[in-house]
Structure 1
Amino acid sequence: MDKIDHVLVIDDDRGIRELVGDYLEKNGMRVSLAANGREMRQVLEGGAPDLIVLDLMLPGEDGLVLCRDLRAGKHRATPFAVRELLARVRAVLRRTRMLPPGMQVTETANILAFGDWRLDTTARHLLDSEGTMVALSGAEYRLLRVFLDHPQRVLTRDQLLNLTQGRQADAFDRSIDLLVSRLRQRLRDVAREPRYIKTLRSEGYVFSAAVTAVDGPGQ
């Protein structure tokens, strides 16, 4: 009897978590779900899965840190096509079976593309359509990463503060508005008719452009 591949899906968004899990199960895989690092470790206590689908922006713990700890993983920006995800999951599993015992595969996309822009998440470089690098401060980079990891999803000011500053965030701090304004300038986004970062009155902000994760040079 053929072995059934075991996939662990880690995402704090319940809807995405269950959507991916249901789709993979319907395509013949055994699936475990986790909303955070604690639940992930509980699953791992029962045995290592064949592959992990990991959201980078987990509450309380950085997904990249978890990925480095595991030394295995697969991540991409959302929303995404589940058929494409299934194809990539199967591709990684095929590569894993070809490796010697104990060796692991890590597949990560280090370029996030949106509109006329590309963000190199390894070098932390923002590149325009002509390949010209646009400098970002540390705070601007963190905010852009949050938006790119949560595209087309409403994020409140408090959520943006927590995701960019963590425990240092002040619930009454409105500096996030200034930071959004600076990031819009970097992206040459017009506030009155924004192409990328839209303001939702009394709600927060939404990154409206589609985001695609691609492999960069040398990947």
Structure 2
Amino acid sequence: MTEQNKKTLLVVDDDQDIRQLLCDALSQKGYQVLEAEDGRQMWLHLESKAVDLVLMDLYLREEDGLNLARDIRERFAMPIMMLTGKGDETDRILGLELAADDYMMKPFNLRELTARIHALLRRACQAAPVLAHTINQEHDCLSFGPWVLDLTARLLQDQDGQLVTLTLGEFSLLEVLAQHPDRIFSREQLIEQSRGLETEVFDRTVDVLILRLRRKIETNPKTPNFIKTQRGLGYFFQGPVRMN
């Protein structure tokens, strides 16, 4: 990995030993690694450097990692991986719903951690600026509710022309679901048909992307109108969907 192509990771953890371990291990994998022990140091890095991924402890001594991750997500589009030392499933799910792209339990396996970081970086893409956009009439588009999904330009916008930021994985998943309204897809089928998902994705990837899509397109993500869960089977998109 050449110097100019190095990805920059930011490790946020109040445990100096953990930070040192992660910095050493990730540097050996060719990443440029920044470190922060609290939110103040974290923001100093984020506001002065181009960070490609944030690796954050869920439980910081003086601050709530979930709140920090949510604040990051409001301003930046880079992937966030949470680290947690507690086994409470509710906390981990909350982290994913609020902001995170993946999580790992402490103590973690360094090989698995670096593999997941690599997968997140590969899926990440530059977010489109949230600006008014005019749909090209020659583009293939899908319309549902107040939304227009431009399949040609790979953009999502509302009825006022405001673009919604979607990652490559989020767009690809929404594209598959919206193109087949009312058809139930298993997680495996969604992975196979989505151009934005890697074949080696982890089991939680689809669930995390569904959570993130619901937060972006649903009026109430907890009672979605579009992306529905079929318990025990998978997900389906509730129509109608119009082809423009």
TM-score by length of 2: 0.41
